[in-house]
Amino acid sequence: MIPLTMLCLLMAISIMSAQSHKKLSISTSIGIVPTYTGKNVKTEVPPLSIHLDYKLSNNFSLGAYAGYTAATSKPRLLTDGIVSQVENKTANFALRGAFHRDMTDKLAIHGGILLGYSAFNTKEMDADSGEKIVRERNVPSPYDPDAPKGQPFYAGFVGGKYSLGNVASLTAEIGGGTSIVSFGLSFSIK
């Protein structure tokens, strides 16, 4: 997956340098519906994301995406008598392709896909002392201590931008990497 990602990134850079008259935009957003949800989960760091998009044409852009979030489960008593909780920190990195359509002078919609990699930092802690719990293999645990530390992912998204002028826009998206619903600001760089 990593060699394919690098190849796509090199191709994108090559295309961008050949078309210097197109627009570059940078967007930041905060998620209001985290991917880690539920009554037993507390969001420690809300889903934050940033993406840099380059418009290859009026209707298509290619870009890079990064997102981060952290959540902790509520303490729970396990059968071994330990009150534990699980802390999960996730970072997402992806290539982002999107199709765009201007609806009015100020409103545009878009949709596309992310192809990337999620890196996880998950640990089980004693809820009372905060110390990390190290489990033996094949012992009941609220999470698999042998689980991979990351994995490839893909996701779809749809969204819109409302122009505040020549440079800034308000953005909203459903889907994507770190949050199910997010809002933010986008800045166009010529």
DSSP 143: S
Residue-level pLDDT at 16: 43
Residue-level pLDDT at 140: 65
> Which tens digit of pLDDT belongs to each residue from 30-63?
999 877 766 788 889 999 999 999 999 989 999 9
Assess whether pLDDT exceeds 70 at residue 9. Answer: no
Residue-level pLDDT at 22: 52
Residue-level pLDDT at 168: 93
Sign of CA dihedral 109, 62, 28, 45: positive
Top-confidence residue, 9 or 110: 110
Render the burial of 101-112: b for 16+ CB within 10 Å, e for the rest: eeeeeeebebbb
- Kindly tell me the burial class for residue 144, based on how many C-beta atoms sit within 10 Å of its own C-beta (0-12, 13-18, 19 or more): exposed
Assess whether pLDDT exceeds 80 at residue 128. Answer: yes
Q: What is the pTM of this model?
A: 0.80
Q: Residue 190: which pLDDT band, with cuts at 50, 70 and 90?
A: confident
Assess whether pLDDT exceeds 60 at residue 109. Answer: yes
Q: Which of 123, 124, 106, 112 is nearest to 156 (CA)?
A: 112
In 79-133, which ranges are E strands?
83-102, 107-126
CB 96 within 8 A of CB 111: no
Residue-level pLDDT at 181: 94
17's enclosing H/E stretch is helix 2-18
Domains and CATH numbers, the chain: 2-189 (2.40.160.20)
Q: Which of 125, 40, 30 is nearest to 69 (CA)?
A: 30
Residue-level pLDDT at 76: 83
